[in-house]
Structure 1
Amino acid sequence: MSCLSDVAGLRIGHANMQARATGCSVVLVPDGACAAVDVRGAAPGTRETDLLTPGNLVEHVHAIALCGGSAFGLDAASGVVHWLEERGFGLQTGPSLVPIVPAAVLFDLLLGDARIRPDAQCGYAACEAAMQNTVAGPVQQGNVGAGSGAVVGKIFGLERAMRGGIGSASVTVGGATVGALVACNAVGDVRHPYSGQVLAGARVAEGVQEMLDAHAALLDGAQPQSVLAGTNTTIGVIATNIDLDKPRLQRLALAGHDGLARTITPVHTMSDGDTLFALSTRQQSDAPSMLLLAAMASEAVALAIVRAVLHAHPYQDAVITIPSAHWSQMNSCVSG
């Protein structure tokens, strides 16, 4: 199955908190990778994103952390920093090496005890998990790491929502590969990127598996439940083996949001903090056009989001997953 680890030079690891559905996911590039970010949601929770602006000095990051736990979860990135420092990775500043670890969080405090959230130990454990295999392997998907407590379709209340998760996909054209790892915790529905069919999201009523289609319901006059800003969010990492600088990586991250728009409705709302990072391992200098790379980024993100909900499993009785009878049909667009 195609996934982010198809981009050589990356290691991806998840860590879960045992007492609650939350966790942290880490993309490790210890030797450094050029990176950028694009934030489209109105309520983001992030760390060290300003340094990724093309006009700013720092060129390389050593990891990117995706975390649950809302703003509390940003603490997990500190554990990633400690793990890298212990192994001699970071930006040389003279007196010491400083690992650069941007991060983004999603809100999952509604499931279980909100006092339990990813911490530095969780981030450290995700790094350990990323390095367990001697070679990169398939990325675990569903309700793991940052996707542990993800929920989609909360626009008409949590009791009518469904489980979200974290998913991964990649696209290769010629020698160019673009991959994505995305944790989907959107307020809106998740749709099939080709047919437009609603795969997961708001249901017509509590306990009923039939999808409502939140976008159509809104246009028909249905009133959404009041949703606190920042209590949703889709966050992710796009990576490519092509040598790209920060301005072009920022455009790649921006194009990745097209993948969100193809699969999530509504998206980029006042209640979401949608954030996508993009990084380059710079292993191939013969670059295709940015037009092609942008299309690949959009596709990888869209397929990663679909996989996130397809691999989800139920949480207690309030949040259901996709009925198994429909799974194979819906998965046909992302098989292989």
Structure 2
Amino acid sequence: MNSQHIDPGSITRVAGIEVGHFTDTRRPTGCTVVLARAGAIAGVDVRGAAPGTRETDLLAPGNLVNEVHAIVLSGGSAFGLDAASGAARWLEAHGVGLDVGVARVPIVPAAVLFDLMVGDASIRPDAAAGYAACAAASSQAPAEGNVGAGAGAAVGKLFGMARAMKGGIGSASVTVDGVTVGALIACNAVGDVLDANTGKVIAGARTEDGLALLDSRRALLGGELPQSLLPGTNTTIGVVATDAVLADKAQAQRLALAAHDGLARSIFPAHTQLDGDTLFALGTGRSGRHPGMLLLAAMAAEATARATLRAVQATRSLTTPQGLYLPAMADWLPQST
């Protein structure tokens, strides 16, 4: 199957889901919000060893709060978690949140990726950025590539930033028998990105002369040693959502876990000690149907793989004022060695 000819869809095809981006014009960074104004059953699965997250503990199946109102994905490393506060402020201003009698408290988990090496590291998403992303949210298909949480993303960094390529944010969806599962993925992986249908590397580390794709798997197994990298300076984060009726947070957590299979198909290596790979799952229940967790899990993995592919297909090349050049798949079409 040629993935180029598949309509990728988007996460906003899931009823009850809206997406908004904020992209900072001062340097390549930004944040993205996934809104579920009516509330959505939520889960999370963290597979990377260096995550930067907010309010993930409340998503554990045994804990009290059952629904969330938004998920924030942000650049800026740990600083970017501030964006979630702005999202919560916007939701409160619009009457969205958990009713505790004296106030409505928006529940806004978040995850961040590290993009501080791309441009001026002192510029990162803050609360105002999160507020602006919410204000921009809609049910239209979201912009992809160099926007929002994907603005400063890069992939293929095992052999250094000088040999990396541009990452980004992408979305996709799968519909089976009236039920939809969508994904939104901000891909900032230390590893290469593959087309899950063909196994071919489509973006990632380049050869020393920069003129071709290296194929990190073959290089590592062939004895080429990776460059020493700081843990947490990468990370792929995202959200999977469905309009299926999920019974509880345990099922949402299972959906997030299954979505990581899509990352494993699309990124090599994934889930490393250098990444903070984190995926959230949302269930809006708007279809009124539950086709079974086996099918939903398969759909979540597929939507995640397609969204990861879109995250690099939609990017454009970038050169920072500091001289870092990150070629994009669409602008630079080498042949893999």
Question: How high is the TM-score relative to the length of structure 2?
Answer: 0.94
Q: What's the offset of the Cα at 1:323?
A: 4.9
Alignment partners' CA distance in 2, 1:80 and 1:97: 14
Q: Does 1:4 align with 2:6?
A: no
Amino acid at match of 2:64: L
Query: Is this contact kept in 1: 2:315–2:330, CA < 8 A?
Result: no
Unaligned runs of 5+ in 1: 330-336
What's the CA shift string for 1:79-100, capped at 9, x where partnerless?
Answer: 0000001111111122211100
Q: What's the offset of the Cα at 1:206?
A: 4.4
Alignment partners' CA distance in 2, 1:94 and 1:323: 52
Deviates more, 1:16-25 or 1:85-94: 85-94
Alignment partners' CA distance in 2, 1:161 and 1:83: 36
Q: What is the aligned length?
A: 323
Query: Is this contact kept in 2: 1:159–1:206, CA < 8 A?
Result: no
Are residues 325 and 267 of structure 1, via their aligned partners in 2, closer, same or farther at CA, if it must alter by over 3 Å? closer
Q: Match of 1:13, SS?
A: strand
Aligned to 1:70: 77
Q: What's the offset of the Cα at 1:139?
A: 1.4
RMSD: 1.4
Q: Does 1:214 align with 2:219?
A: no
Alignment partners' CA distance in 1, 2:186 and 2:163: 20
Taking the TM superposition and a 5 Å limit, the aligned residue runs for 1:29-178 are 29-131=36-138, 136-178=139-181
Aligned to 1:238: 240
Unaligned runs of 5+ in 2: 1-6
Alignment partners' CA distance in 1, 2:77 and 2:303: 25
The runs of at least 4 aligned residues of structure 1 exceeding 4 Å deviation read 323-327
Query: Is this contact kept in 1: 2:16–2:37, CA < 8 A?
Result: no
Q: Does 1:285 align with 2:288?
A: yes
Alignment partners' CA distance in 2, 1:318 and 1:224: 20
Aligned to 1:20: 27
What's the CA shift string for 1:6-32, capped at 9, x where partnerless?
Answer: 001111000011101000000011121
Taking the TM superposition and a 5 Å limit, the aligned residue runs for 1:240-255 are 240-244=242-246, 245-255=248-258
Query: Is this contact kept in 2: 1:183–1:234, CA < 8 A?
Result: yes
Q: Does 1:194 align with 2:197?
A: yes
Question: How high is the TM-score relative to the length of structure 1?
Answer: 0.94
Amino acid at match of 1:47: R
Alignment partners' CA distance in 2, 1:90 and 1:259: 31
Aligned to 1:332: none
Alignment partners' CA distance in 2, 1:294 and 1:232: 26
Q: Does 1:259 align with 2:262?
A: yes
Q: Match of 2:259, SS?
A: helix
Query: Is this contact kept in 2: 1:253–1:278, CA < 8 A?
Result: yes
Alignment partners' CA distance in 2, 1:3 and 1:112: 29
What's the CA shift string for 1:91-141, capped at 9, x where partnerless?
Answer: 11222111000000000000111000000010011011104xxxx221110
Alignment partners' CA distance in 1, 2:62 and 2:243: 23
Identity across the alignment (%): 62
Amino acid at match of 1:241: D
Q: What's the offset of the Cα at 1:146?
A: 0.1
Query: Is this contact kept in 1: 2:192–2:205, CA < 8 A?
Result: yes
Q: What's the offset of the Cα at 1:322?
A: 1.4
Q: Match of 2:21, SS?
A: strand
Q: Match of 1:247, SS?
A: helix
Q: Does 1:318 align with 2:325?
A: yes
Alignment partners' CA distance in 2, 1:282 and 1:192: 31
